[in-house]
Structure 1
Amino acid sequence: MKAVNITLTFNSQAEAAFNFYRSVFGGEFIHLQRLKDMPSPNPMSAEEGEKILHIALPVGSAVLAGMDIPQGRPESIAGTNFMVTLDTSSEEETQQLFEGLSEGGFVMMPPDHQFWGAYFAMFTDKFGIQWMLSYVADK
């Protein structure tokens, strides 16, 4: 496994929150992508398109990541608005961890290749903990 990080979820406040975190921790965002950057067959409002799909800020040896909850999904609830993110070393490791951790839970996105280049999965385990698994091949 490459790394364990935390992803925070927001109800349209991800950009403001991460500008605040950057003012406290310093550094620069290593990733910033908006919902409008995502390929989608369904049109979205300009306001929805400006929401954060993924933002990442290095903090020490870890990465603090964040996202806004898209319209139509359950709102983020303060105190439980995080996901454990595992950056895996291979597609096989991603699949193995998915099969183990997701058993008895709720799968939002089964492991699959995504438009941003990752082999990715998102789910909640049987204890209510939200997980994201992501493998990106080294270039």
Structure 2
Amino acid sequence: MKVEPYLMFEGRCEEALDFYRRAVGAEVKVVMRYKDNPDPAGAPGCADGSGPGPMPEMVMHAEFAVGSTTLMASDGMGSGKAKFDGISLALSPDSADEARRLFDALAEGGQVQMPLAKTFFSQAFGMVADRFGVPWMVVGPE
């Protein structure tokens, strides 16, 4: 059994996937749009664009890999109000230089919560919420 993060971007999923490709080298493996659902009327939440909810072009489900970790993502209901409270994604790069590169990339358009610095447990540790509000901890080697 595995536990894999599932991020709901509420309308910005495709933008997020492009950002993570550049920022952390994500490899997008799957993208399914709401319009790809063979029975949109028969599945609650799979809007056909005729009423409230996600538009047909929005991402219903995506899978992407960052290193050896698989993450999943969606536009959810397309509310425009993504919330990522109470969680952080932790990156563990092999070097302090790589930690700096990743931290700076994630901080572009985001908000630094704790600047990357040497700590008693890491050569480079910092916390940042990226431009989508996803909280990240970058934890370099000891």
In the superposition, the TM-score normalised over structure 2's length comes to 0.47
In the superposition, the TM-score normalised over structure 1's length comes to 0.48
Larger-gyration structure (1/2): 2
Question: Which structure shows the bigger proportion of residues in strand conformation?
Answer: 1
